[in-house]
Structure 1
């Protein structure tokens, strides 16, 4: 099987299976071979699922028997190792959970399986999903397939690296502040953080702070994001935040019939941005205007007044600390650096905690006003391209910032719950992917996906893959 087929998107793979051009068994075998060939250097895959080939044989038999099949019938997929998979290890990047074997699938996994897809493997992450680098004491560090000395991001860095390297066509990640969009930008794939609650968090750990966590699809094309999102969205009767009916906006249709209005921003008052990243956002804005969309530079005063990252750092620790302390009690020596650092962070005062919550409300109000005038916002995903492993400070455009600055453009959409998508639109002078972020109004996934599809159609960097 050629490498070209490995790099097809999931939508194309499903069609090839339905038409008999390729079997599910052939496709699964090809991905297993790809994992064997490339994973030793990248370390994106931490567990290969038993039974994938058997499931592929059953998928081929069902097709031959003329049975009705789902939209992703016979297509392999991967899942971040914080998301439960029945009968397949889910170890959360920690020796504390080594050998943990769930008995049920997370809602998101079950829905993808219901569409006929085949679980191929679990992917690496930081311990407890709590870092922007995918490294831990149990399964080690994941490397970026574009440059092994650089990070593929976190916390869904194993997932992003696996998809970028052709080990998987698509998969599932989670996002607290950056964790599907940042890794997507660092490895050159696409990822969607939907409106908060659109995809249930049932079967995912940790779930606190609940109002910031999201499950999101990751893939190589926007149409794959639209397809998988349409399968994932909707309440499950267990997640109390997941209450919007599936029919409200499944990612298909619902785009305004009038010409779209999109604002773009680089200088947001949130700190320095690499000049190559800024140039990529400007290029994307110009390219989008060529598609008939009205595009103009804007400001977001609410974000300039209340820095979302500073507020997030005050808020989330106070909710995560009790959950992590309970999970790790008596096993503190088995914890990795970021989790230990978080537990040792001084408590936020009740006054500062309430101030942070009120700041989030002001930011939500600011975006509510913005989306009365615009349909989407175009901005950086990250202030820099993928960086070398282990950095604690960055020098960006002559300014020194700490490593948490990597989240500055993404976290605002977690604390507001707004949908946001990451996609590649440029390349750095070092040959690394540069992404742009598209955010939309609450429950306007269709508009976000539509704008991304327009950009994808005029992208200068389509169908680029790392050389491995």
Structure 2
């Protein structure tokens, strides 16, 4: 029964709690048992929240007393270790922050708790959330539960691995360029980076560059991502970027009855793509067409004029370096390789910085033009399935590229602030998950959740759980 419990999604667990078919204590214990059984192989969990069982007992008492229950009442969740958790270590993947104990929850954590969620554990990440592999000097390297010789991604790689392996039904990750969607693709789960500003970043570090950072839900079902987002969204009066007010339907129904128009592409403008990944995107597009959606193969000229990854690199380095210098001052010997790499990068000239800012505006304009004709865009998330640990150069469809190119299809949404959802729709010849990315117009999360739910209903993927 314990293993069965850890295979339910968060929405189902909340239903079972409300119906008194499962107690929050049973659910939390089942996930703690799962962590004990499989995490030694995965190394996704860095800290167990000591108050989890106590919170579960309190949640159980509330059910038995007939109190009003939140939509996530009694459901455990995990959070990336860059997200502040009151009374639970938040060490940011670095010895420099060893033993750091926040006094307050990040807004996102507080909101999941307010919805009835129970903080279960903190999950691994790269040093300072800055790389596409989750490895650091403090808690080591996380492994992919589908194949432990491969990465679960970064920077929310511990979170993606924990959810994929059944150690958590729901989690919080952060995303600067790839970091909730890429790890989801590498482990075959679902995640969403909402429109920039939809979810406050209060209580999360690093904040620079603030205009590119997002926090988002990660889970094993589209409905869980929608439910979590409905609780996370909205301004908190502290994050000035978070100003979007308005309701959101946590369901997956389309907000209006107009026929959907969806485009799909794998390039140009994203860099090279593995043929199996490209075929999965095409299959997702064909599946939508079979469901009666108007689907076209498209291109976005702005992506061809200005390579978003180059734009991002020219903008973010200048803004992140001061935060890294401040954090590491006097403790440079405790830095890992990516912080050292960041601080060694040359500064962008002012002329180049301004040119990149203008390029970012052209990218926003290009997407704005596209969304006058289409409701969504289907792309790949990553150009290849999860790769072996420590690889930093790849040959993709005959082209040699470095590891930063793995962000080619994800980083445009950070530069522009557009929402994107990653979900599994295929499997590589060697059994690794392949996800697609559903991109929407600004504030169109309901639309991409609806389209993702359509795809989820016809997905060719049968096995969502690794054999671990």
Give yes or no for contact 1:249–1:445 (8 Å, CA) kept in 2.
no
Give yes or no for contact 1:249–1:443 (8 Å, CA) kept in 2.
no
Give yes or no for contact 1:185–1:423 (8 Å, CA) kept in 2.
yes
For residues 244-277 of structure 1, the C-alpha deviation after alignment (integer angstroms, 9 at most, x for no partner) is: 1032676765633111000000132332100100
Aligned length: 468
Give yes or no for contact 2:20–2:63 (8 Å, CA) kept in 1.
no
1:4 is displaced (CA, Å) by 2.8
1:391 is displaced (CA, Å) by 0.7
Task: Look up the match of 2:182.
Answer: 182
Say whether 1:92 aligns with 2:92: yes
Give yes or no for contact 2:81–2:91 (8 Å, CA) kept in 1.
yes
Say whether 1:460 aligns with 2:460: yes
Task: Look up the match of 1:448.
Answer: 448
Give yes or no for contact 1:137–1:336 (8 Å, CA) kept in 2.
yes
> Counterparts in 2 of 1:45-64, with a 5 A limit?
45-64=45-64
Task: Look up the match of 2:424.
Answer: 424
Q: Distance in 2 between matches of 1:434 and 1:43?
A: 22
SS at match of 2:247: helix
Q: Distance in 2 between matches of 1:184 and 1:270?
A: 19
Give yes or no for contact 1:456–1:462 (8 Å, CA) kept in 2.
no
Task: Look up the match of 1:312.
Answer: 312
Q: CA RMSD for the aligned pairs?
A: 1.1
Task: Look up the match of 2:338.
Answer: 338
Q: Distance in 2 between matches of 1:98 and 1:60?
A: 34
For residues 11-63 of structure 1, the C-alpha deviation after alignment (integer angstroms, 9 at most, x for no partner) is: 00011111111111111001000000100110000000011111111100111
Task: Look up the match of 1:404.
Answer: 404
Residues 336, 125 of structure 1: CA spacing in aligned structure 2 closer, same or farther, 3 A cutoff?
same
Task: Look up the match of 1:159.
Answer: 159
Q: Distance in 1 between matches of 2:80 and 2:339?
A: 18
Say whether 1:384 aligns with 2:384: yes
Q: Distance in 1 between matches of 2:205 and 2:269?
A: 33
Task: Look up the match of 2:24.
Answer: 24
SS at match of 1:77: strand
1:87 is displaced (CA, Å) by 0.2
The normalised TM-score by structure 1 is 0.99
Task: Look up the match of 2:237.
Answer: 237
Q: Distance in 2 between matches of 1:30 and 1:254?
A: 35
Q: Distance in 2 between matches of 1:254 and 1:241?
A: 27
Residues 387, 261 of structure 1: CA spacing in aligned structure 2 closer, same or farther, 3 A cutoff?
same
Task: Look up the match of 1:8.
Answer: 8
For residues 307-363 of structure 1, the C-alpha deviation after alignment (integer angstroms, 9 at most, x for no partner) is: 000111111000000011011100111001011000000111001111111100000
Give yes or no for contact 1:44–1:161 (8 Å, CA) kept in 2.
yes
SS at match of 1:247: coil
The normalised TM-score by structure 2 is 0.99
Give yes or no for contact 2:252–2:453 (8 Å, CA) kept in 1.
no
For residues 199-221 of structure 1, the C-alpha deviation after alignment (integer angstroms, 9 at most, x for no partner) is: 00000000110100000000000
Task: Look up the match of 1:130.
Answer: 130
| Structure 1 unaligned residues grouped into runs of 5+ | none
Q: Distance in 2 between matches of 1:248 and 1:140?
A: 39
SS at match of 1:246: coil
Q: Distance in 1 between matches of 2:411 and 2:235?
A: 24
Task: Look up the match of 2:117.
Answer: 117
Say whether 1:259 aligns with 2:259: yes
Task: Look up the match of 1:144.
Answer: 144
Q: Distance in 1 between matches of 2:270 and 2:86?
A: 42
Q: Distance in 2 between matches of 1:49 and 1:145?
A: 22
> Counterparts in 2 of 1:204-219, with a 5 A limit?
204-219=204-219
Give yes or no for contact 1:191–1:218 (8 Å, CA) kept in 2.
yes
Task: Look up the match of 1:292.
Answer: 292
Residues 148, 72 of structure 1: CA spacing in aligned structure 2 closer, same or farther, 3 A cutoff?
same
Residues 460, 253 of structure 1: CA spacing in aligned structure 2 closer, same or farther, 3 A cutoff?
closer
